Amino acid sequence: MALSGATGFLGCHLLARLLQRDGRVIALVRDEPARAARRVERALAFAGGGPLSVPVGSGRLRIVRADLGEERLGLSAEAFRHLADEVDEVWHCAASTHLEADLPTVCAVNVEGTRRMLELAGAGRRAPRFVHISTAYVAGGRTTGTVAEDDLDGSFGFLTPYEESKYRAEVLVRSWAGREGRRALVLRPGTLVTDRPPVPRGPRHPHSVLGLRLGRLAAWGPQFLTRQFGVHPGPDGVFHVRLPGRHDSVTSIAPVEYTADAVLRLADEPQEAPGTVTRHVVHPVDTPGQVWLRAVRSVIPWVEPTLVEDHGRPTPLESFIVSLQPGGSRYGYLRRRYERTRLDAAEARDGVPAPAALDVPYLVNTLRGPRLERA
């Protein structure tokens, strides 16, 4: 099988699990071979927490240089054809995950890159299944209700260009499977985190940016805010700031380790008929926005954020606090949930214990990076 995105935060966990099984994995990585091998090894060390048991370049794990931004993934026609014929499954996990990037930039990787991966799957004589890692956030601007697994509705608009690009990629996958009479499995995780410490130059999760910035702020102390914004804490020694959002907002957050297990569990389900099957791969318990804010407050106890629906004009200090999590402030209004009927059934069948709801201590650990350790 071929897997894109193996050097990423989720992809490395998928690769680590796939290598525990029989079969060969071809990791599609955009770097030159020696650097790609080092990066995959680092990513696997992060995912497995230990030394690499399957060496890169062994019969079990091979790296092929492939760039989603280039036609035929940057391969010659012959190499592309050869690769296509080798694989019995194509797993597409790579993406541009920058929440702040503009639409053309993310579409170049997430839409055009998906089209190229579909071409790879389409060219192979073994008619591989296409396993596409999408996101629960293709639901876009929808704030309430339960998003069904079959839903793919762009009419609510999108909170970020990233979401829109992932939505468009799903549309491509569905139409490819329908048009070509092929099998596609679309898997939609929610927000992914981990409480494991990062490895130097290894994969990072989206909240690690927030973690780094909070760590820096914690080290600078409250006097930084006074110096920078000319404001003073209240009599309780605390800066009170308003953040945009609803007091009852929820987010679907899950440990990446749990999610990777669930991805493999769902991918193992029989899929004989042509067409697209879509599954949410989300935590069974949503994380309230209030719990998330308490975790942030544990790191910088001298800032008390409160979610307010009508944010009005933010003060410079409030804008600064919002900017600590790029793209994150848009999610403070979401109360929607995601259907996960099939994952519930698969976990019940396999006797998987329900994962614990994410609490403040866990979330604080997800924010811990090297800088926070020093703070």
Q: Least distance in Å: CB of 332 to ligand NAP?
A: 17
Verify binding: residue 255, ligand NAP, rule CB under 6 A.
no
Q: Tokens for 136, please give them.
A: 């629960």
The smaller minimum CB distance to ligand NAP, of residues 103 and 308, is found at 103
Q: Least distance in Å: CB of 220 to ligand NAP?
A: 28
- For 49, other C-beta atoms within 10 Å of its C-beta total 12
Verify binding: residue 8, ligand NAP, rule CB under 6 A.
yes
The helix (run of H) or strand (run of E) holding residue 361 is: helix 360-366
Verify binding: residue 366, ligand NAP, rule CB under 6 A.
no
The smaller minimum CB distance to ligand NAP, of residues 114 and 249, is found at 114
Among 37, 61, 68, 250, binds ligand NAP (CB under 6 A): 68
Among 42, 129, 168, 205, binds ligand NAP (CB under 6 A): 205
Q: Which stretch binds ligand NAP (CB under 6 A): 66-74, 210-218, 347-355, 359-367?
A: 66-74
**Cα distance between residue 8 and residue 40, in whole Å:** 9
Among 2, 11, 218, 317, binds ligand NAP (CB under 6 A): 11
Q: What is the distance of C-alpha 253 from the center of its chain? A: 10
Verify binding: residue 192, ligand NAP, rule CB under 6 A.
yes
Helix locations, the chain, DSSP H: 11-19, 33-48, 77-86, 103-110, 112-123, 161-180, 207-220, 222-229, 256-267, 289-299, 316-323, 341-350, 360-366, 370-374
At residue 165, the 3 state secondary structure works out as helix
**Cα distance between residue 76 and residue 73, in whole Å:** 9
Question: What character string, x for contact with ligand NAP (CB under 6 A) and - otherwise, covers 94-123?
Answer: xxxx-----------x---x----------
At residue 369, the 3 state secondary structure works out as coil
Verify binding: residue 258, ligand NAP, rule CB under 6 A.
no
Q: Which stretch binds ligand NAP (CB under 6 A): 8-16, 82-90, 313-321, 353-361?
A: 8-16
Place of tokens 């604080």: 364
Q: Least distance in Å: CB of 134 to ligand NAP?
A: 7
Q: Least distance in Å: CB of 15 to ligand NAP?
A: 10
Verify binding: residue 69, ligand NAP, rule CB under 6 A.
yes
Task: State the DSSP code for 284.
Answer: S
Among 15, 18, 25, 30, binds ligand NAP (CB under 6 A): 30
Among 189, 244, 255, 289, binds ligand NAP (CB under 6 A): 189
Residues in the chain: 375
Q: What is the DSSP annotation of 222-278? A: HHHHHHHH-----TTS-EEEEEES-TT-EE-EEEHHHHHHHHHHHHTS---SSEEEE
Question: Nearest to residue 270, comparing CAs of 346, 340, 178, 344?
Answer: 346
**Binding residues vs ligand NAP (CB under 6 A):** 4-5, 7-11, 30, 67-69, 93-97, 109, 113, 133, 135, 166, 189, 191-192, 203, 205-206
